[in-house]
A and B are shown apart, each in its own frame.
Chain A
Amino acid sequence: MDWIQQLVNGISLGSIYALIALGYTMVYGIIKLINFAHGEVFMIGAFVGFYAIAGWGLGFFPALIIAMAVCAGMGMLIERVAYRRLRGSTRIAALITAIGISLFIQYLFIYFRGAQPEAYPEVISNQTFNIFGAQISSQSLMILGTSIVLMIVLQFIVHKTKIGKAMRAVSHDMDAARLMGINVNTTISATFAIGSSLAGAAGVFFGVYYTKIEPLMGVIPGVKAFVAAVLGGIGIIPGAMVGGLVLGVVETVVSGLGYSLWRDAAAFVILILILLFKPSGIFGKNAREKV
């Protein structure tokens, strides 16, 4: 029952991509900026979780909440310091700033703690269940379950709360929203906070699931999540979830067929194909609902 095993592997990987992709897509939806520093927020989440677990001896959920909170703050800080004053400037200026911030965080982190990797402590007792011949670990179930809960909470925030309504309004038309009395800056801050906290959660999941964390760990997952966001249709929340899961499964299938060296290439081939044939992504349509 190899394919069930591979599907489980792919969904676990995909749910991490999906959580990161959500942050990309939300930020893009609201200010049309590809926030390349998002991968670094993911890395910081992983390290905060690590220090909370290994240093303070906290459990999985308290560590997860602390990492999400720190990353939310981090996201707002990045937005306040780097992007807010570029709000009126060209999109390319903001994009280049994002790349600069990304490198700045990576190397600042290396400067202060060194580049050596860290091994995540085993915080969830790891049992494996045998389901239809596939080995499914309690860790991957926990990760999958928590990601689904986080995505449901996100949907609730976006569709049922006042701030969610404001986010949708700002993404639709920033000027009109401001005329309606919506505080645009606060709304954008909130978007960064929510997206970054999801990246922080993804960082902790990554650490628990893959054990090894290091200061440059955010680069590749960050870029992959960007591909996932484009695949689903950038700016569209359900698109990011589906895009992440699809990308995870595709990568796993490619490795599973014995082309493991082509795995990363596959992700970027998908990006190129999407941009060529359906630039608006799987969920893209003319009248988009964006956040």
Chain B
Amino acid sequence: MFFKKRMTAVLLASTIGAAGFLAGCGSDSAGGGESGDTVKIGANLELSGAVASYGEGIAEGIELAVDEINKDGGIDGKEIEIVKVDNKSDAAEATNAAIKLTENDDVVAIIGSATSGNTVAQAQVANNSETVLLSPSGTSPNVTVNEDGSLNDFVFRTSFIDPFQGTVAANFAANELGVKNVAIYADNASDYAKGLAASFKETFEAAGGKIVAEESYVAKDTDFRSTLTRIKSANPEFIFIPGYYEEVGLIVKQGREMGIDVPLMGADGWDSPKLVELAGGDSLNNTFITNHYSSGDPDETIQSFVTKFGEKYNGSSPDAFNALGYDSVYMLKDAMERAESTSDAKKIKDALAETKDLTLVTGIISVDEDHNPIKSATVLEYKDGEQVFKTKVDP
């Protein structure tokens, strides 16, 4: 046993040594890179751990975009080189990975991470080392803006922010469905759901609608029948349920059983195959969600992306994370071209902040003063357990 342990330690030490050696080589070539070989971009992603599927999706999207750009002659004649680091879905690891990328690999920009928490964990590193940090899918408002209201200078994102989905849902309910009296049933334990509920309410009331019932639940609840009975008696024509699929699945099922047959709507927190298992395909009919993108969208940019993605990855259909990873690379490319620099992070971040009307797969984006892209959101409808593209709602 002791021998085995020592063996492992020796192996580990030699591996670390080798890694250090390799990393050393990496920074040497980066020194050469400044004279004009490659554009080094870090990818600090969740490649293992709890949300590995998010990180892997983003990595696939990034690789597809990099292949395309390099085939077309790169950015300003320089090929893109991606340095991928696994942050194990852990905030502390994300910080370490960011330090490694900025200090050892000397990257000019980092794409990552998939979750807001892991992105926030490296924001400080990015600001201090003056490296551009672009989160593909961190949707919490405090990724780019700190709690005290100050802006993270070097931090940007490709996705829209959480409250925006509430706005989109309100506009969809008021304009497309034409409903007047709605109810809100929100998860009281999550900032995400509360943010969505607040922005939904504000937008919907501004559009002349009326909130007839406002109820909340707490994550991990299982019995929603009594509150649903109360909501039902208020006779809403539509119910907005921001939350995550574990509870939403039960709410939808129990609500339908009690004869609530009005349209229900949520956001990307619903987006999981588990939702369909919990609620059942039948109950999910006449429900809608907002999301970043849909592969069923007939838009030309999207369809060409879907085709290219299928060619590279054995015909699989890209999800929102694939699309956001892909878009992140193009967003950086656009900024570098306008900045006329692939190595000066300050010029690149200024150019990113001025991004305007850039056509990407997940929408046409312009970056606002809080470094958040203004872009359209997609509304999907569940039909017999399948997500079907419904419409696109502009901000």
A binds B: yes
The interface residues of chain B lying within 8 Å CB-to-CB of A212 are 222, 246, 249-250, 278
Q: Which residues of A contact B277 (CB under 8 A)?
A: 119
In which size bucket is the chain A interface? 20 to 34
Complex CA gap A97/B271 in Å reads 42
Binds A, one of B121-129, B210-218, B322-330: B210-218
Complex: A211 Cα to B250 Cα, angstroms:
7
Q: What is the CB-to-nearest-CB distance from A119 to chain B, in angstroms, rounded to a whole number?
A: 4
Asked whether A126 is an interface residue with its Cβ less than 8 Å from the other chain, the reply is: yes
**Residue on A with the closest CB to B253?**
A211
What chain A residues lie within 8 Å of B249 (beta carbons)? Answer: 119, 211-212
The answer on a CB contact under 8 Å between B229 and A2 is yes
Give B214-258 as 1s and 0s: 1 = Cβ < 8 Å from A's Cβ atoms. 011110101101110110010000000000001001100100011
Of A80-88, A147-155, A186-194, A252-260, the stretch lying at the interface with chain B is A252-260
Contact indicator A252/B253 (Cβ below 8 Å): no
Stretch at the interface among A5-13, A28-36, A271-279, A282-290: A5-13
- B312-366 contacts to A, CB under 8 A, are none
Residues of the A chain whose Cβ atoms lie less than 8 Å from the Cβ of B230 = 2, 255-258
- Tell me whether A146 is interfacial, beta carbon within 8 Å: no
Contact across chains for A117 and B274 when beta carbons are under 8 A apart: yes
Q: Are B227 and A6 in contact (CB under 8 A)?
A: no
Asked if B257 and A126 make an inter-chain contact with CB atoms under 8 angstroms apart, the answer reads yes
A9 touches B250 (CB 8 A): no
Q: Which residues of B contact A119 (CB under 8 A)?
A: 249, 274, 277-278
Interface residues of B in 242-289 (CB under 8 A from A): 246, 249-250, 253, 257-259, 274, 277-278, 280
Kindly provide the distance from the CB of A162 to the nearest chain B CB, expressed in whole angstroms: 39
Cβ of A13: which chain B residues have Cβ within 8 Å of it? Answer: 223, 225
Contact among A5, A117, A206, A260 with B258 in the assembled complex (CB-CB below 8 Å): A5
Task: Find the B residue at minimum CB distance from A255.
Answer: B226
The reply on B188 being an interface residue by CB < 8 A is yes
Q: Of the candidates B216, B217, B223, B259, which one forms a contact with A210 in the assembled complex, judged by CB atoms under 8 Å apart?
A: B223
Task: Give A127 Cβ to nearest chain B Cβ, in Å.
Answer: 10
Chain A CB count within 10 A is highest, among B188, B215, B223, for B223
Instruction: Assess the A261–B188 pair: CB atoms within 8 A.
Output: yes
Complex CA gap A97/B278 in Å reads 35
Question: Once bound together, how far apart are the Cα atoms of A122 and B278, in whole Å?
Answer: 10
Residues of B with C-beta under 8 A to A260 = 215-217, 226-227
Chain A residues, Cβ within 8 Å of B258: 5, 128, 135
- A residues contacting B by CB (< 8 A) are 2, 5-6, 9-10, 12-13, 117, 119, 122, 126, 128, 135, 137, 206, 210-212, 217, 220, 251-253, 255-258, 260-261
Sample of 10 further A-B pairs with CB below 8 A, known A210-B250, A260-B215: A2-B229, A9-B225, A119-B278, A122-B280, A128-B259, A212-B249, A253-B226, A256-B229, A257-B230, A261-B216
Pairs A–B under 8 Å by Cβ, sample size 10 = A6-B226, A9-B226, A10-B226, A13-B223, A119-B278, A128-B259, A212-B246, A251-B226, A256-B229, A257-B230
